A and B are shown apart, each in its own frame.
Chain A
């Protein structure tokens, strides 16, 4: 054998120069990723490319890649390998903007937390915000520009557009149309204005399948102006939510939750608490928190509100519209309406009526009028003018469709969104698109719409692109990239600039250009930098306006028969369907992962002889959908709910074929609900992945609760604790009296069950996604889960939720049974899991009374695409097959803080360590700290008279304590059966 010198490459650079290496890289990251040419080299692009290239260099070898770790030759400033950096940026979602702080490890974003300075996130996240991180590393994201399905380059598109640009400029944009998503971004709005200047005759339509259009229309109906309502739930003592999941799926749920729990927090027995009345068709996160809840289908909510308005008027708070309109359905929940009206009347100026986006404009107009009459405007609700807002409009979309049908559109640019999948079915958009000469689609994935368009442009993730966004109350913030685009994507700003100006513009420059007049020329650079650092631009936010009421004509039709409601899912409108974290996340109410179902009430199930997982056919005027049924207690009897955004055909490897596409039933007449649904039972069953099979506590004191009034009398909670003799240990117990002693307190009164902690835990701790089949087998890996129990009447249940993670028992049953001592206690009271030592007998899991341990039945991590591995937290071990794992109280964060404190010659201060779940929680339900320090927040909560330990009688001594849940029912509505909240059956 003849050896050549060339075979021994001397350095990585030499290897990287070979065609072979480029070939490998392209196979993994076609184009884009390693495109070194181009604009200036930013710190991040350098890091990213270095990171990716070096990681990929390993692929040239099929053995263990020894050349993976190469030290920096010249270390970039600000980077200490192993020490994460944090950058502020903004996640735009529809009209919302969520300020976030992104943790990056050596240039890779690995974790997202809320920006405390930002009004829409207030330091917390929602599941979608947290999970958006994974989308960055989605290997199914589109990797290049496609023209008629063939790979091509951005340059080709730019050249093509320049031709069109010149042509349309001549004609003033005749035949040119843009279909964009709705946005609230000063730069995009500026570019849109410029587009209209260039092409005065062009049509620009903004449309989203899930939008707040009804809210704006309703407010316009009531006030004559399009205004943004901004709610401050912390200022409302009595809240009426009308089909409004303001803690879950509505816009601004994070800020709403922060405010809501602030007014609900009970620190001692003398504290007051807000009262939540909920009227809704199906159980939601908000409904689970309700003090009083009435299940009413979507079509009758308006009647109930009207009836309420009449009673309120009759009680001396005149509400203008109450007399004129329509017939109120006074039969509906008349007790509830009577009592509620009294409560609202008593809390004038400190109550709030909110309606959900699925309610028609008339209901929003009425809610607006109610708030005005009750004196809440300027307090719990304020209205803001937002100039840069580009609203979604169903009518505009219909007009566009009509134009296309008339052949009046030659070039259609679809800037984001997936209308072929989500547009109302009566428009049949996919066939319409064929009639357009040139269609351009900007999208992160080659999705359903891309497949019908002649051009597909890859869209950059928000963590890769420059942009800006305004929050709901007008605060400006910048979308700052934390990594150069991994694929060949470009952001919206770049595309809009190209469309409006005909030439390529750096998004960074465009955003700065917008900021110039806002920040002023003097000291711009320092203000700009401060804004980037803080994640929010200084001195922004328009003042609230107090609109006058000028009620327009209200159109309120009462619906009859069986009603189908469409709900916004955890994938929003379906755009996050390829996100494994979200797919595997159990629904907060039904606990269904990996799919949707037709939710029906137990009564309807009985009527139609349906069981869970029975396939049914839903028929609306000949449009049919086959979908499995799922019985959800708390569902209105006349209502069937289906979540939108499932059943994607071109979402990617994760989202394809998961669930059933409810858009098939959605038409422009019934965007949010449809009457006259025909339900028919089909033969077969369809397996759904539910993470909680049993919804009753069986009378066990697991989640304990009382009413506020009952608690004020006596600190007693139900179900009562189990009487037991004083627990005796077989051996001398460890004292745990020195040094740090970690503990956690979870306030069940604050927890809404929103799931933010579950996703945050998954992101922080490299928890694998196991897929539908494994979830069906009961093998989901979430370290933090949220248990949901029903209590009371099954037709009108109370719902209790409880975050459950490792309780870190001082007398841990798991530790005693492990034959190899792979799980043991550390001196700080942590129940630690030594992965290296674990041989996987699973005995610990069997003996865990809380069943919080999770086992790697397969090598789940091995199947992960390389790209997704970049999302992993380098501080946390990736677990191999055959190893048990569980919550560690984020031991990596504890260690980091301890090391930092030691270096600085001090002890860790209270609140310095925040576990991932705690950091995510908008309700601030989770407190972590040193229980050895009597002044720490967690120690004080351990003194609270609502504290209890789950399964205390087993003498496991959990370090996690819970604070019992309280409800604040109106005494006038308390039924005898509710008098003592004997949690239990259902």
Chain B
């Protein structure tokens, strides 16, 4: 019987979250093995490719530091370009992790257990990629630490009214919480790996990182409380981070930026793109690492439903912006939106609409919702669309109030290399993670096996 059929929902009956008749032992073995076996050729090739791209990022940054931000296509109306687009894009990607781990945890969505680990990891890596950009895009990088409120003899504080400063706080808090959450969840699994380790060194290192976890009752009690509290802390962050990022635009006075809908619209978009990225990675890793039993079509279908919903929220936001542009009666606002759809950047706008609004509509059809090929292509298109969404927003700058300063922004080689390089960094980190850390939260997956909740008659 194929996997697709066994995981089909029957009315009134919830199919098992994990298939393949797994036991506690088989889960430890199957997931633990990935980190224990010899490095495969596939991994080495992938790592080589990703690492090379990461070096492209490093090189681009080096040249940027040497020459200045002029190597990018920036000009005076468009003083922010791909660096900020990439920043918002990566921060957005980084949203799915927290949503899956914290929000779904609080809502007792147990299907999250199969994907939460690598969604969280992906979050961390995406946020790392995101954090690169605000740091390097400033004109005088060697003074970038001035945006932190460091006490100094001049009593000179940063400007707390600036959304860029809010960004610094929001993203760094988000990163810290996500890291803690991720690591706390990892402790029991690291201990499992420690117990499975055969070499002394491995045992020692994993022993260090698992903080002496023994799996005792008291430890589990404390662990679960800590996990719950961290989930509680992280949940508002899901809403706040991208809301704050959106204020970079929303609090300005530039038409096309100055929009009150931005905070919810950005959050929806972030979840949308984050799920798409999880989907892309999940489809690849479950195939390559043979995790079809853990990440089942059911899981993927649920994610597709979330993408369909958030995609429509984003679509609603797009149309709402147009309505408000007209309803506001502001000639600048109306112009900015007409210009978006029909101006020099119309091509980008229509790529965005196609990818973000039209593409997810395929998920109305169940067969496509459960088709690996469809969801894989769709998830990539969605991320292309979400990147263009940020691009469209940023280049609103090209045509603002005084037509005399209107200009056109064209990316240079270095803009492209920095974006491509950031993907390299992301995949490098992800591959390291896939090689050395259990990709699926073993302890949590074990918790959703029937054995974890024994009942009379075998049914919960």
Residues of A within 8 A of B (CB): 692-700, 702, 722, 774, 777-780, 785, 787-789, 802, 804, 813, 815-821, 837-843, 845-847, 849-851, 853-859, 880-884, 950-951, 954, 956
Residues of B within 8 A of A (CB): 67-70, 73-80, 137-141, 143-144, 146-147, 156-159, 161-165, 168, 248, 251-254, 330-332, 335, 397, 400-408
Interface centre among B73, B80, B158, B407 (most CB of A within 10 A): B407
Instruction: Give chain A residues whose Cβ lies under 8 Å from the Cβ of B405.
Output: 692, 787, 851
Interface centre among A837, A839, A883 (most CB of B within 10 A): A839
Instruction: Give chain A residues whose Cβ lies under 8 Å from the Cβ of B164.
Output: 817, 819, 841, 843
CB of B69 within 8 A of CB of A849, answer no
Q: Which residue of A lies closest to B405 (CB)?
A: A851
CB of B252 within 8 A of CB of A842, answer no
A779 is contacted by which of B70, B161, B251 (Cβ under 8 Å)?
A: B70
Instruction: Give chain A residues whose Cβ lies under 8 Å from the Cβ of B79.
Output: 842-843, 845-846, 855
Knowing A778-B76, A816-B161, say if A840 contacts B403 (CB, 8 Å).
Answer: no
Instruction: Give chain B residues whose Cβ lies under 8 Å from the Cβ of A696.
Output: 403
A839 is contacted by which of B140, B156, B331, B407 (Cβ under 8 Å)?
A: B140
Knowing A778-B407, A858-B70, A881-B139, say if A849 contacts B400 (CB, 8 Å).
Answer: yes
CB of A846 within 8 A of CB of B397, answer yes
Chain A nearest CB from B266 CB (Å) reads 17
Chain A nearest CB from B34 CB (Å) reads 42
Knowing A789-B404, A819-B162, say if A846 contacts B75 (CB, 8 Å).
Answer: no
Instruction: Give chain A residues whose Cβ lies under 8 Å from the Cβ of B75.
Output: 777-779
CB of A881 within 8 A of CB of B68, answer yes
Can you name 10 A-B residue pairings with CB atoms under 8 Å? Answer: A700-B331, A702-B402, A821-B162, A839-B138, A839-B143, A846-B79, A846-B80, A851-B405, A859-B68, A951-B402
Knowing A817-B252, A819-B164, say if A840 contacts B402 (CB, 8 Å).
Answer: no
User: A816–B311 Cα gap in the complex (Å)?
Assistant: 33
User: A841–B163 Cα gap in the complex (Å)?
Assistant: 12
Instruction: Give chain B residues whose Cβ lies under 8 Å from the Cβ of A804.
Output: 402, 404
CB of A820 within 8 A of CB of B147, answer yes
Q: Which residue of B lies closest to A954 (CB)?
A: B253
User: A837–B140 Cα gap in the complex (Å)?
Assistant: 10
CB of A819 within 8 A of CB of B158, answer yes
Chain A nearest CB from B456 CB (Å) reads 62
User: A800–B74 Cα gap in the complex (Å)?
Assistant: 29
CB of A882 within 8 A of CB of B158, answer no
B146 is contacted by which of A817, A837, A842, A846 (Cβ under 8 Å)?
A: A837
Instruction: Give chain A residues whose Cβ lies under 8 Å from the Cβ of B402.
Output: 700, 702, 787, 804, 849-851, 950-951
Q: Which residue of A lies closest to B408 (CB)?
A: A693
CB of A847 within 8 A of CB of B253, answer yes
Chain A nearest CB from B166 CB (Å) reads 9
User: A71–B56 Cα gap in the complex (Å)?
Assistant: 52
Instruction: Give chain B residues whose Cβ lies under 8 Å from the Cβ of A774.
Output: 70
CB of A845 within 8 A of CB of B76, answer yes
Instruction: Give chain B residues whose Cβ lies under 8 Å from the Cβ of A818.
Output: 159, 162
B254 is contacted by which of A816, A849, A883 (Cβ under 8 Å)?
A: A849
CB of B406 within 8 A of CB of A882, answer no
User: A487–B159 Cα gap in the complex (Å)?
Assistant: 50
CB of A841 within 8 A of CB of B70, answer no
Chain A nearest CB from B274 CB (Å) reads 26
Interface centre among A700, A789, A815, A859 (most CB of B within 10 A): A700
Instruction: Give chain B residues whose Cβ lies under 8 Å from the Cβ of A697.
Output: 403
Chain A nearest CB from B246 CB (Å) reads 14
CB of A857 within 8 A of CB of B406, answer no
Which 10 pairs across A and B sit closest by C-beta, in order of nearness?
Answer: A840-B139, A882-B139, A778-B75, A857-B70, A787-B404, A842-B79, A851-B405, A882-B140, A821-B159, A819-B164
User: A954–B333 Cα gap in the complex (Å)?
Assistant: 12
Chain A nearest CB from B64 CB (Å) reads 11
Chain A nearest CB from B149 CB (Å) reads 11
User: A49–B70 Cα gap in the complex (Å)?
Assistant: 38
Instruction: Give chain A residues whose Cβ lies under 8 Å from the Cβ of B78.
Output: 778
Knowing A819-B165, A842-B80, say if A851 contacts B70 (CB, 8 Å).
Answer: no
Chain A nearest CB from B404 CB (Å) reads 4
CB of B168 within 8 A of CB of A699, answer no
User: A777–B331 Cα gap in the complex (Å)?
Assistant: 28
Instruction: Give chain B residues whose Cβ lies under 8 Å from the Cβ of A857.
Output: 68-70, 74, 139
Instruction: Give chain A residues whose Cβ lies under 8 Å from the Cβ of B253.
Output: 813, 847, 849, 954, 956
Instruction: Give chain A residues whose Cβ lies under 8 Å from the Cβ of B146.
Output: 820, 837, 839
User: A855–B163 Cα gap in the complex (Å)?
Assistant: 20
Chain B nearest CB from A950 CB (Å) reads 8
CB of B331 within 8 A of CB of A699, answer yes
CB of B404 within 8 A of CB of A820, answer no
CB of A698 within 8 A of CB of B403, answer yes
User: A849–B70 Cα gap in the complex (Å)?
Assistant: 22
CB of B403 within 8 A of CB of A789, answer yes
Chain B nearest CB from A823 CB (Å) reads 9
User: A818–B160 Cα gap in the complex (Å)?
Assistant: 9
Instruction: Give chain B residues whose Cβ lies under 8 Å from the Cβ of A881.
Output: 68, 139-140
Instruction: Give chain B residues whose Cβ lies under 8 Å from the Cβ of A699.
Output: 331
Inter-chain pairs besides A837-B156, A853-B76, 14 sampled, C-beta below 8 Å? A693-B406, A778-B407, A787-B404, A802-B404, A817-B252, A818-B162, A819-B159, A821-B156, A839-B138, A839-B147, A842-B79, A851-B76, A855-B74, A881-B140
Chain B nearest CB from A801 CB (Å) reads 10
CB of B252 within 8 A of CB of A820, answer no
User: A817–B406 Cα gap in the complex (Å)?
Assistant: 21
Q: Which residue of B lies closest to A844 (CB)?
A: B79
User: A820–B163 Cα gap in the complex (Å)?
Assistant: 11
User: A857–B139 Cα gap in the complex (Å)?
Assistant: 7
User: A63–B23 Cα gap in the complex (Å)?
Assistant: 72
Knowing A777-B75, A778-B77, A846-B397, say if A883 contacts B139 (CB, 8 Å).
Answer: yes
Chain A nearest CB from B376 CB (Å) reads 37
Instruction: Give chain B residues whose Cβ lies under 8 Å from the Cβ of A841.
Output: 137-139, 164
Q: Which residue of A lies closest to B146 (CB)?
A: A820
Chain A nearest CB from B391 CB (Å) reads 15
User: A133–B141 Cα gap in the complex (Å)?
Assistant: 36
CB of A882 within 8 A of CB of B162, answer no
Knowing A839-B139, A849-B401, say if A693 contacts B407 (CB, 8 Å).
Answer: yes
Instruction: Give chain B residues whose Cβ lies under 8 Å from the Cβ of A838.
Output: 139-140
Chain A nearest CB from B189 CB (Å) reads 39
Instruction: Give chain A residues whose Cβ lies under 8 Å from the Cβ of B161.
Output: 816-817
Q: Which residue of B lies closest to A690 (CB)?
A: B407
User: A777–B332 Cα gap in the complex (Å)?
Assistant: 25
Instruction: Give chain A residues whose Cβ lies under 8 Å from the Cβ of B141.
Output: 882
A858 is contacted by which of B67, B77, B162, B397 (Cβ under 8 Å)?
A: B67
Chain A nearest CB from B154 CB (Å) reads 10
Instruction: Give chain A residues whose Cβ lies under 8 Å from the Cβ of B158.
Output: 819-821
Q: Which residue of A lies closest to B159 (CB)?
A: A821
User: A789–B404 Cα gap in the complex (Å)?
Assistant: 8
User: A677–B335 Cα gap in the complex (Å)?
Assistant: 43
B140 is contacted by which of A813, A815, A883, A950 (Cβ under 8 Å)?
A: A883
Interface centre among A693, A780, A950 (most CB of B within 10 A): A693
User: A695–B164 Cα gap in the complex (Å)?
Assistant: 34
Instruction: Give chain B residues whose Cβ lies under 8 Å from the Cβ of A950.
Output: 402
Knowing A700-B331, A817-B162, A841-B138, say if A851 contacts B400 (CB, 8 Å).
Answer: yes
B68 is contacted by which of A700, A778, A858 (Cβ under 8 Å)?
A: A858
Instruction: Give chain A residues whose Cβ lies under 8 Å from the Cβ of B163.
Output: 817
Chain B nearest CB from A116 CB (Å) reads 32
Knowing A816-B161, A839-B140, say if A698 contacts B147 (CB, 8 Å).
Answer: no
Q: Which residue of A lies closest to B74 (CB)?
A: A857
Q: Which residue of A lies closest to B332 (CB)?
A: A700
User: A722–B147 Cα gap in the complex (Å)?
Assistant: 38
Instruction: Give chain B residues whose Cβ lies under 8 Å from the Cβ of A850.
Output: 401-402
Q: Which residue of A lies closest to B255 (CB)?
A: A849
Chain B nearest CB from A302 CB (Å) reads 37
User: A197–B253 Cα gap in the complex (Å)?
Assistant: 75
Instruction: Give chain B residues whose Cβ lies under 8 Å from the Cβ of A694.
Output: 403-404, 406
